[in-house]
Amino acid sequence: MNADTEHPNRLTPEPDAPSEPIHPELPTDPAEDTGSLSHVPVLADEVIQALAPAPGKVFVDGTLGGAGHTGLLLAAGATVYGIDQDPFALDRARAANHAGLHVLQGNYRDMVALLAGAGVTQVDGILLDIGVSSFQLDDTGRGFSYHTEAPLDMRMSQSGESAADVVNSYDEEDIAAIIYEYGEDRLSRRIARGIVYAREKAPIETTVQLADIVKRAYPGFSKGIHPARRTFQALRIHVNDELGALRDGLQAAETLLAPGGRLAVISFHSLEDRIVKRFLLGSEVLSPLTKRPVIASEAEQATNPRARSAKLRSAERVGSA
């Protein structure tokens, strides 16, 4: 767990507490979400309006993914440094051979060093479209979906601890804390107990194995949204240290943006949006472009379910370089 996250066990209700949806805006298993099957960039018009790309301008896309947003920045004549921690995403981007795109492998939290390595110390705009991409969700071998049998992996970068490492080696209390903190699941303790009980018999190696363990913690479940949704989200966030990367990435953006430069961050759940909102409120160099986060139009939400939970916050760098 991050040192700055509260240990949630104190707050965890008794194991028998009724399970109620805390965040109805959470998407269902993203692999079920038909939006994940398209590679259409979310809030594309709104991002372009916020970042104002033009010939001669230089941007960082910290979450290159399928290069959907980057394609629009390039089409406006800008140069883009596209970062992704997923080697498969980078292979695809390189193969597409976009003119004006410089591909950098790494974590966007390290963007200052990554850009310095490419000889760049200031940029006109930075985009973070956080979370997993449709390619990652659709790749059944990556272990992000609880419906498809696959190794319990979930590592975007293909390195570090996998989700299987976490469920098979962490203390019960720490597993409960992760599920509570990042999945906001009120049955976190009961799920953690079920995980530890199961792994004593045999290691938990696959997605469906884990999904079944979580399901058993919800004896009343028969149909509807699968109870494993929150646990999978929590493990994915933990394994990829998504919230830590976001905090570091926001700070890095302050360093890298030229005066007048723009930052755009798209988040998909309240844990992320809260971090962005608080960061911008406390920043002395970034001034929000809109008071409230921008959400997708009804038309976009109708055609792209992933857009339903998306929130865009944007800001402009003020002051001297």
Ligand X SMILES: C[S@@+](CC[C@H](N)C(=O)[O-])C[C@H]1O[C@@H](n2cnc3c(N)ncnc32)[C@H](O)[C@@H]1O
Interface residue list for ligand X (CB under 6 A): 39, 41, 63, 65-69, 83-86, 89, 107-109, 129-133, 156, 245
Query: Is 77 labelled as part of a ligand binding site?
Result: no
| Shortest distance (Å) from residue 285 CB to ligand X | 22
| Shortest distance (Å) from residue 7 CB to ligand X | 24
Q: From the CB of residue 280, how many other CB atoms can be counted at a distance below 10 Å?
A: 18
Rank residues 109 and 186 by Cβ distance to ligand X and give the closer one.
Answer: 109
CA quadruple 245, 246, 248, 250: dihedral positive or negative?
positive
Please state whether beta strands 257-267 and 58-61 pair in parallel, antiparallel, or not at all (unpaired).
unpaired
The DSSP element (H or E) to which 267 belongs, if any, is strand 257-267
Q: What is the full DSSP assignment across 92-128?
A: HHHHHT-TTEEEEES-GGGHHHHHHHTT---EEEEEE
| Shortest distance (Å) from residue 115 CB to ligand X | 13
Position of tokens 């494993």?
A: 228
Rank residues 115 and 191 by Cβ distance to ligand X and give the closer one.
Answer: 115
Rank residues 137 and 286 by Cβ distance to ligand X and give the closer one.
Answer: 137
The tokens of 219 are what? 């004896």
Rank residues 43 and 204 by Cβ distance to ligand X and give the closer one.
Answer: 43
| Shortest distance (Å) from residue 39 CB to ligand X | 6
Query: Is 16 labelled as part of a ligand binding site?
Result: no
Nearest to 309 by CA among 273, 276, 275: 273
| Shortest distance (Å) from residue 302 CB to ligand X | 19
Q: In the chain, which ranges are continuous DSSP H helix? A: 44-51, 68-75, 87-96, 111-117, 134-138, 163-169, 172-183, 188-201, 207-216, 228-239, 242-256, 270-282, 298-303
Query: Is 84 labelled as part of a ligand binding site?
Result: yes
Query: Is 129 labelled as part of a ligand binding site?
Result: yes
Query: Is 124 labelled as part of a ligand binding site?
Result: no
Rank residues 195 and 237 by Cβ distance to ligand X and give the closer one.
Answer: 237
Q: Which residues are annotated as a binding site for S-adenosyl-L-methionine?
A: 67-69, 84, 108, 129, 136
